[in-house]
Amino acid sequence: MRLTFREVMLGVRRSPLLSTLSVVTIAFSLFAFGLFGLLVLNVDRALRGVEEHVEIVAFLADGTLPESISAAMGDISAFPEVARVEQVSPEQALARARAELPEFQDVFDASFLPTSIEVRLKEGHRDPATVKEVSQRIQTYPFVDDVRYGEDWVKKLYDIRNIAGAAGIGLGLLFAAVAIIIIGTTIRMTVLARSREISIMRLVGATDSFVRRPFLIDGFFKGIIGGLIALGLTWGTSALVSHNLIQTSFFDTGTAILGVIGGGVIGLLGSALSVGRHLRRV
Amino acid sequence: MIRFSHVVKEYPRTGFALQDVTFRVNKGEFAFLTGPSGAGKSTILRLVIVEEKPTAGEVRVSGIATSNIARAEIPRLRRRIGVVFQDFRLLEDRTAEENVAFALEVTGSPREGIPARVSRLLTQVGLASKGTSYPKELSGGEQQRVAIARALVNDPVLLVADEPTGNLDDRATRGVFQLLRDINAAGTAVLMATHNLELVKRNTYRVIEINRGQLVFDSNEGNGVPGAASSTTTTTP
């Protein structure tokens, strides 16, 4: 192992420019990947934010007894899909309407507004089918006049989330593949620069795994360094956008660490592909 | 030690490099491999060190048929073969000692024994005082001696030399050739490809001559005319 590390360090010392170029290429490939990840993260968070507003509103018949309302709220709270149940009195509804819609400023009477129950669902239960199913369950109470949940809106939102999720995975894989190819090509230059050494190693009877090892370690560490630089650049860009344009979210610590390790793995894979190809040819 | 049985080597682009070549080099034998440029000498050497595999026929080295050899087994076989090239193939940024030690290190020799072994090998090739010199600081003959020392690190049973004196002047040629003779005298078989017909004629070793991919003369078999194929080519004394 000591020899392997010595060979790695020798490679870096012998061609510092090539090593720097490799790290910079890895860093920029991962930076592009990181920016894309940031975009996906923020779009996802924005959609989640919108999704949190998915709400079922049950309008109750006039004269419904408070005990019945309490009992129903207790029942509905116990539904596994339900996160929160809230009763909205006509007065509260009017105050809200006045605050949200200026034209209601002139409405002084809450008597025409019904009492309602607002039901928020748990994350993972906000898809159109579940929302509809819970709504139908709520509709079965005899004192429930009407149930609204914006069927079309929920369906559209869910479709957008699905499309964004699929596009995120597809483009993410594409970005990762491009990053692996670019990194692999850069590492291939390092391999070619040391092809004489590789041919001598093989000639004297070094095993393929022995020849491969320094390149894999080299690729992994370059990937890690490139990943750290990419993380710094992505953070800088995120901070810049947050400061000047719109508030953005950044990756949590776990994701950031995973990203840097991912850089190392991509470096490792790129090296493995390049050296493997070279070894098959010599 | 080496056995070629009806060996054919064909390259997709350039066609046949060897056609129906059969010969055998025995344990401890010294054999010259001669022939004009492009005759197929290097192909034979590449087949011996398993850089290539035959298209047809069989190549056996140290009892192992190279056509069926597993990739993982090739390094083990190569450790039994020393290889020397015309262009020395030394690592320019390492000293003579480091070049020799490198071969020991990459084949997993115990670290503590390496300095003594390197020193002994450099003494054997007459370079005891040049261990810390870089290849550029050495003459061609000295560089070839370092390459030979490196080829000997694993005590090979066979030494394959591809034009080892091709880049050397007369004096260096004599020195390097004497070294190869000494190695052979110690029991290592030597297969030496060369253009140097003078060197071949001055010595009584076996001659295998290749021309246009075919074996045209083998002094052990007594067939053909030695040097017939090479007589039209330029030779270095």
- Which of B78, B106, B111 is the mutation pick for testing A, counting most A CBs within 10 A? B106
> Is A144 in the same domain as A75?
yes
Q: Name the average pLDDT for chain B.
A: 89
Do A3 and B106 make contact, defined as CB atoms within 8 angstroms? yes
> Is A137 in the same domain as A218?
no
Res. B41: pLDDT tops 90: yes
Residues of A in contact with B89 (CB under 8 A): 196, 199-200, 203
Res. B231: pLDDT tops 50: no
- How far apart CA A149 and CA A116 sit, in angstroms, is 13
Chain B residue whose CA is closest to A208? B72
Which residue ranges make up each domain of chain B?
Answer: 90-155
> Is A142 in the same domain as A95?
yes
- How far apart CA A57 and CA A108 sit, in angstroms, is 23
Distance from CA of A191 to the nearest CA of B (A): 15
Is A224 a member of any domain?
Answer: yes
> Is A163 in the same domain as A263?
yes
Do A206 and B75 make contact, defined as CB atoms within 8 angstroms? yes
Which CATH number fits the domain that encloses residue A127? 3.30.70.3040
Residues of B in contact with A282 (CB under 8 A): 51
pLDDT in tens, B183-197: 999 999 999 999 888
> Is A163 in the same domain as A265?
yes
pLDDT in tens, A12-39: 777 788 788 888 888 888 888 888 888 8
Do B78 and A204 make contact, defined as CB atoms within 8 angstroms? yes
pLDDT in tens, B89-121: 999 889 999 999 998 988 888 888 999 999 999
Q: How many domains does chain A have?
A: 2
> Is A99 in the same domain as A180?
no
Chain A residue whose CA is closest to B148? A204
Is A189 a member of any domain?
Answer: yes
> Is A167 in the same domain as A257?
yes
Helix or strand run (H / E) with residue B143: helix B140-151
pLDDT in tens, A223-243: 899 999 999 999 999 999 988
Residues of B in contact with A5 (CB under 8 A): none
- How far apart CA A184 and CA A274 sit, in angstroms, is 6
Distance from CA of B72 to the nearest CA of A (A): 7
Is the CB of B116 inside 8 Å of chain A's CB atoms?
no
Alpha helices for chain A (secondary structure H): 2-14, 16-51, 66-77, 90-100, 128-139, 151-193, 195-203, 208-244, 253-281
> Is A38 in the same domain as A67?
no
Res. B169: pLDDT tops 50: yes
- Which of A14, A195, A203 is the mutation pick for testing B, counting most B CBs within 10 A? A203
The last residue of one of the domains, among A85, A120, A148, is A148
Residues of chain A with pLDDT under 70: 1, 3, 104-111, 281-282
pLDDT score for B5 = 95
- Which of B46, B84, B95, B105 is the mutation pick for testing A, counting most A CBs within 10 A? B105
Is A114 a member of any domain?
Answer: yes
pLDDT score for A110 = 62
> Is A39 in the same domain as A64?
no
Res. B235: pLDDT tops 60: no
In sequence order, the 6+-apart residues with CB closer than 8 A to the CB of A224 are A260, A261, A263, A264, A267
Task: Return the percentage of chain B with pLDDT > 90, whole number.
Answer: 69
- How far apart CA A58 and CA A74 sit, in angstroms, is 14
The last residue of one of the domains, among A83, A117, A148, is A148
- How far apart CA B47 and CA B45 sit, in angstroms, is 5
Distance from CA of A213 to the nearest CA of B (A): 11
Residues of B in contact with A1 (CB under 8 A): none
Residues of B in contact with A208 (CB under 8 A): 71-72, 75
- How far apart CA A176 and CA A181 sit, in angstroms, is 9
> Is A69 in the same domain as A169?
no
Q: What does chain A come to in residues?
A: 282
Domain of A203 in residue numbering reads as 2-49+158-281
Is A153 a member of any domain?
Answer: no
> Is A252 in the same domain as A167?
yes
Residues of B in contact with A206 (CB under 8 A): 75, 106-107
The last residue of one of the domains, among A148, A183, A215, is A148
Q: Under a CB-based contact definition with an 8 Å cutoff, are residues B143 and B88 in contact?
A: yes
- For residue B75, give the nearest of A3, A197, A207 by CB distance: A207
Do B72 and A208 make contact, defined as CB atoms within 8 angstroms? yes
Q: Under a CB-based contact definition with an 8 Å cutoff, are residues A271 and A218 in contact?
A: yes
* Of A237-241, B41-45, B107-111, B128-132, the least confident: B107-111
> Is A131 in the same domain as A196?
no
* Of A201-210, B39-48, B82-91, the least confident: A201-210
